[in-house]
Structure 1
Amino acid sequence: MRCDKFSAAWAGSHVALFLLTAVGQATADVTLTVYYAPGQTPLADGTVPDASATPTAYDDSLQAYSTATLVAPAAPNATAMPTAFALAVPSAVPAGASIEQSGSFFGFSVEMSVVNQVLGKNSSLLQVPFLNLMANLQQRTGRIHVRVGGNTQETATLVESTSDGKILEKDLTAVSGTTDTPPLIFTADLIQMMRNISDLVNVHWFLGVPFNDTNWRLEIVETGQAILGEFLIGIQAGNEPDLYANHGRRPTNYTQDDYFGEFGLLIQALDADTSVQASKLLIAPSVSTNWSPESVLSAGTGFIPTYGSSLEALAVEHYPSDNCGVAFPDSGIAINDPQSLLSTYLSHGSATSIVSPYLNTSEVAQTNGLPFYMFETNTASCGGFAGLSDAFASALWGVDYAMQMAAVNFSTALFHVGGQSVSYNPFTPPPTNESTFHQWTIGPIYYSALVVAEALGASNTSQVLDLNANSGNELTPAYGIWEHGALTRVLLINFANDPTGASTLQVDLSMPDGTLPSTVNVKLLLANNVTQKGNFTWAGQTFGGNFQSDGRPIGAEDIATTACGVPTDGSSTTAACRINVPAPGAALVFMSGTAAADEIAGAPSVTFSTTSVTKVVVATATVPASLLATSNGHGGNGTYQMIQLGSTSKGSVTSAGASIRALPAWAILGSAVAAALGILSTNVW
């Protein structure tokens, strides 16, 4: 399917730059991307089958939108989970707290093969929802870390151009290995697209040098440094080298010593490349399951003593389970049952068991002055589990897991983003043939990112400690967060599933060595039950369900204020703040300052609006620029009102209509000014 971007009134100018100057808000001449979804096989001539055919309801076989739901566990009894307990938290940083953590700790890993779906079609057509999702985090933390890589980076080759002008192409006839990974070719415009994103929202990037063989293709490093500049913060050297033999990328006897030698060859190649600034650039060893990181670090003459001057960070990759038996039914891999695994993810033990094998590596990293990254992770490899990875249980799990990693001195955790065939995506664009009438789907892991962003804040001085709350009960973990040496926030989690309210936690927070504030602000992460899909809320705001989000939160923010003091019921003589945490749910308690102030500590709030539309169905409505300038008048007070519109999609009009959010007033002004100056075209594709 061919796409042409909207025309501009003057060469080399973008709507984004004009509107930024004209109205003082960040916006962009961007649109929803077009890409190949599963089932849309390119024809022999490289084209895609006719997109003007009547669209059908979305295919539930696409895991990203599966409606499969698991059975929620029964509520725990009082013995299994006491619901009322006291939690004394020191006002000063206690022994055992983490290193100082950045607010950008929780980031994302985007599979390279889907960047033209998730980030944008090219450097001129960025994905508006992605910009909004990143802006939400920037507002809270100041910056975001995103890695572009994964299995598909290993065979990626940078080329001058592609035959059809796309920034990325897959050779679907040459898939290889157990992961069925197609070789990629890409152009420099892919990296320019990343830079243009960073110029709008403060995203810093990780890339990876192809490691499928030792005929090093260093163009991605050269071009990445030239275009991204300071926004490129590291290059991965080998993605899960311990699985190379399994995936057919190396001989079956490939060892840690072999990787050690190849890593040295890569450094030699980088040093010989005058277009590369190779000092302190590389991230390694990024092992997963077959090798321990220590086995690599002790290989050869010692990994860090030998290569430390070239290392930016140590890294590992880990998924607590896998769905590979389903994803690759002919592989002979055992199938894991998500229903039987659900309770595992609803336990603090999941987080502690994942990080425990890496405690020694964390110490090694600290001793050698290196950051330690969880470079790729999520609920389960091979796409995650429908009904679990896309349910509220994963939002709570993601919060606990990320905070546990922060507590044991990981420096960054990147949660993976795949395509339409996975369940664990933090965010997913709609399939191509639905992009005119469906929006994005926001997964539970993105809610986790928001909570952790606010828990760690924007000061870059946050220190974290697992508080061993409720006598270490696995259903009720809690974390203390200290900034500049003082207690600022406490995070409480309730993994129980109990819609009756009987399992709501009643936590009496006290600060025995400090002065308790008279009131505290509380934000809640909530859903009706742990198996709920979509429509979760963080402080009363939501991103809706499947196909309902443009990346901006919906609804009024709800920040509770809780009084602190001696309980009036006579249960204690110690002053405390009594915090209620519903089951299931999480509560972030702001012990100093206000939640509203902390929320905007990273950067001013900014949102982006779409200034172009797509057309993939015959008779889809088009909008003249003159009409577009005034057509968004609904909700002109700047609020995100909901209006009911009929569908423009063949055969899909219902009596209920389709809910579409009106743009805020500044976006309306931007459209009006743009139309008046003729910089928007009425072209569609």
Structure 2
Amino acid sequence: MFISLLCLVSLATVGQCSQAIQAQISSSASNQSVLVAKDFTSFSIEYNNLPYYGGNQSQPNQFSINLLSNLGRMTGLMPVIRVGGSTQDDIVYNASLTIPEFTDGVRVGNHRPLIYVGPSFFSSYNTFPNTRYIPGINLAINGTAGISSRKAQIDLTCKSLGDSLLMFEVGNEPDHFISYFRRPTNWTIEQYVEEWLEASQLVLEETSRACPQIARRSPGFFAPSFGGTDLGQPFSALTAFQNGQLSMHDIRQISIHNYMGSATNPTVTLQGTLMNHSSIMHSLAAHVTLAAELRNYTTVPYVLGETNSLSGGGASGLSDVFGSALWVVDYSLYAASQGILRAHFHQSTTSPYTAWTPNGTLTTNPPYYGNIMVNAAISDAPGTVIAALELQNNEDPRVSAYTLHDSGREQLPRVVILNMREWNSTTVGARPLLTFTLDVPAGVHGARIERLSAAGADVTTGVTYAGTSYDYDLRQGKPVVVDIAAATEKVTVNRHTNTLIVEIQDTEGAVLHLF
């Protein structure tokens, strides 16, 4: 039995479609389906911001714990937390520092100040329950003082994390070291590999000495953590592997970073860049190509080790509005459908793209609701596989869909539909919608509908998923049903046509749980 989708839009509707949008999927998973990890939605916390997001052992950040636990309950596995970013390579350990961290100076252009961390900084690790961490280690600073600091960083990190330590990451975006004046302009990929191997050997030796119980399970490395795919460039993940970075046989997962564009690029728009399936496919295409190339050298999984909407912390009006929540959903599910193991959404306290603000005025931000919808679609059922749902006769990049099946079980699929046609809260007139008619398998009685909704693509508050709010002001990020009708919405099958009819507003998404 197949599912077909029909788009019925009045002639007055903006972005009208006069032709049926159709798709066919089997009630069982297609050959193109791939396994999706239960911890696909993961996070990357800017290194020097860890005390704000995590709190410390005596006073953990309960707001962060609540939000991460919501995601963990939905899939049965907590997000993986990578602690890194640009400040990872600014770190110098100071044993006499009585505060967690201190920044010595200000950034001038690409010249970055040093950041000193004291012993109390490391008490911010391991504050999230049942969570695995990927801690960053400084690669940029060498010399006697740099190596001494690196040793202390390794020792204190492994002692703080214990069994929660998943992998180490040595260096953040070393392909950008030259532009940040961390290396001379003639620094080569061969020199990088030599330095990385030497620093990684130090990690292994110090971990064996300070934390033998961790060393015995050989956590390995998250690498090379380059800022992009750099395909065709002399300094790239591919050339690093060709020059022996894999010789230690301890790289457990490939980490490459990705952003949709720069926050300072004037051509970036909400509709054209973020709420746009074609733009998402284009952004991830090089990663799909690189992952295939790297399989000639290793079979370890490919991860977006740091990612978000726009580099440079994101842009207000783009990265912090409801439209970005829909981007999170489409970007995540498309990446998962391409075999990418996880996506670590980068978090920084002052950045527009942060999913939640952990200090000052505490807020749950629109991107977090996108994370919630993704995990609701993945679910905690075993062996979930995902495939992009091909929409025939559709050239609109603002509409996308996916199916998720639970392998090994006779269970109906979940269908994700995204209508990313931009509608703003200030737009005059009736809000357009698309009507989808689903031809469903025999035996389907209906669908429970969970919508990702807000007043418009431009709003920063009032977002809900399945009629539920995760705002701090209600229950400190714990779920609160604020719209009982939306929380219990169902649609039943038309017995004469064996179809389900579902209306999705512009700038809205939905997960359909068939029953």
TM-score, normalisation: structure 1: 0.65
Which one of 360, 364, 370 corresponds to residue 448 of structure 1? 370
Paired residue for 2:449? 522
The residue type paired with residue 128 of structure 1 is: Q
Paired residue for 1:112? 47
1:256-304 CA distances to partner (integer Å, 9 max, x unpaired)? Answer: 2222222222233234433262845111112224833986344367257
For residue 184 of structure 1, give the secondary structure of its aligned residue in structure 2: strand
Runs of 4+ in 1 over 6 A off after TM superposition: none
- Is 1:482 the counterpart of 2:482? The answer is no
Which one of 126, 142, 157 corresponds to residue 60 of structure 2? 126
Paired residue for 1:285? 224
Which one of 28, 31, 49 corresponds to residue 95 of structure 1? 31
Paired residue for 1:171? 103
Paired residue for 1:591? 514
Which one of 116, 122, 128 corresponds to residue 191 of structure 1? 122
The number of aligned residues is: 480
Deviation at 1:369, TM superposition (A): 2.6
The residue type paired with residue 539 of structure 1 is: A
Cα distance in structure 2, aligned partners of 1:510 and 1:262 = 58
Cα distance in structure 1, aligned partners of 2:330 and 2:375 = 13
Cα distance in structure 2, aligned partners of 1:323 and 1:372 = 26
**Pair 184,398 (structure 1): closer, same or farther in 2 beyond 3 Å:** same
Whether the 8 Å contact between 1:147 and 1:206 is mirrored in structure 2 is: yes
**Pair 303,521 (structure 1): closer, same or farther in 2 beyond 3 Å:** farther
Tell me, which stretches of 5 or more residues in structure 1 are unaligned? 1-73, 325-334, 432-438, 593-685
Cα distance in structure 1, aligned partners of 2:367 and 2:313 = 14
Paired residue for 2:9? none
Paired residue for 1:351? 280
1:516-560 CA distances to partner (integer Å, 9 max, x unpaired)? Answer: 421221100011211122111111122459x77721233345131
Paired residue for 1:493? 418
Deviation at 1:463, TM superposition (A): 1.4
Paired residue for 2:310? 380
Paired residue for 1:397? 327
**Pair 427,300 (structure 1): closer, same or farther in 2 beyond 3 Å:** closer
Whether the 8 Å contact between 1:320 and 1:380 is mirrored in structure 2 is: yes
Cα distance in structure 2, aligned partners of 1:138 and 1:314 = 23
Paired residue for 2:16? 78
**Pair 489,97 (structure 1): closer, same or farther in 2 beyond 3 Å:** same
- Is 1:554 the counterpart of 2:461? The answer is no
Deviation at 1:504, TM superposition (A): 1.5
Paired residue for 1:28? none
**Pair 272,110 (structure 1): closer, same or farther in 2 beyond 3 Å:** closer
**Pair 181,542 (structure 1): closer, same or farther in 2 beyond 3 Å:** farther
Deviation at 1:126, TM superposition (A): 1.4
Identity %: 22
Cα distance in structure 2, aligned partners of 1:343 and 1:563 = 35
Cα distance in structure 1, aligned partners of 2:101 and 2:201 = 30
For residue 469 of structure 1, give the secondary structure of its aligned residue in structure 2: coil
CA-based RMSD of the aligned residues comes to 2.8
Cα distance in structure 1, aligned partners of 2:337 and 2:354 = 24
Which one of 403, 413, 426 corresponds to residue 355 of structure 2? 426
Paired residue for 1:265? 198
The residue type paired with residue 78 of structure 1 is: Q
Paired residue for 1:219? 152
Cα distance in structure 2, aligned partners of 1:172 and 1:265 = 28
Deviation at 1:508, TM superposition (A): 2.2
Deviation at 1:458, TM superposition (A): 2.0
- Is 1:563 the counterpart of 2:489? The answer is no
Deviation at 1:313, TM superposition (A): 0.6
For residue 349 of structure 1, give the secondary structure of its aligned residue in structure 2: helix
Deviation at 1:417, TM superposition (A): 1.0
Cα distance in structure 2, aligned partners of 1:101 and 1:577 = 27
Whether the 8 Å contact between 1:314 and 1:365 is mirrored in structure 2 is: no
Paired residue for 1:320? 260
Deviation at 1:451, TM superposition (A): 0.6
1:60-113 CA distances to partner (integer Å, 9 max, x unpaired)? Answer: xxxxxxxxxxxxxx963324x86x644432122212222x22221111111112
The residue type paired with residue 153 of structure 1 is: Q
The residue type paired with residue 560 of structure 1 is: E
Whether the 8 Å contact between 1:346 and 1:475 is mirrored in structure 2 is: yes
**Pair 480,308 (structure 1): closer, same or farther in 2 beyond 3 Å:** farther
Paired residue for 1:7? none
Deviation at 1:219, TM superposition (A): 3.0
Whether the 8 Å contact between 2:43 and 2:346 is mirrored in structure 1 is: yes
Cα distance in structure 2, aligned partners of 1:293 and 1:540 = 47
Paired residue for 1:135? 69
Whether the 8 Å contact between 2:165 and 2:219 is mirrored in structure 1 is: no
Whether the 8 Å contact between 1:293 and 1:316 is mirrored in structure 2 is: no
**Pair 179,145 (structure 1): closer, same or farther in 2 beyond 3 Å:** farther
For residue 154 of structure 1, give the secondary structure of its aligned residue in structure 2: helix
Return 288-297 or 389-398, whichever deviates more: 288-297
The residue type paired with residue 289 of structure 2 is: N
1:369-409 CA distances to partner (integer Å, 9 max, x unpaired)? Answer: 31211111111111211111111110101110011110111
The residue type paired with residue 482 of structure 1 is: H
Q: Give 1:492-511 correspondences, 5 Å limit.
A: 492-498=417-423, 503-511=432-440
The residue type paired with residue 93 of structure 1 is: A
Whether the 8 Å contact between 1:124 and 1:193 is mirrored in structure 2 is: no
- Is 1:302 the counterpart of 2:253? The answer is no
- Bigger relative contact order (CA 8 A; separation at least 6): 1
Cα distance in structure 1, aligned partners of 2:118 and 2:327 = 37
Paired residue for 2:379? 457
**Pair 383,502 (structure 1): closer, same or farther in 2 beyond 3 Å:** closer
- Is 1:411 the counterpart of 2:338? The answer is no
The residue type paired with residue 14 of structure 2 is: P
The residue type paired with residue 528 of structure 1 is: A
Which one of 204, 210, 232 corresponds to residue 138 of structure 2? 210
Return 289-298 or 229-238, whichever deviates more: 289-298
Cα distance in structure 1, aligned partners of 2:381 and 2:317 = 36
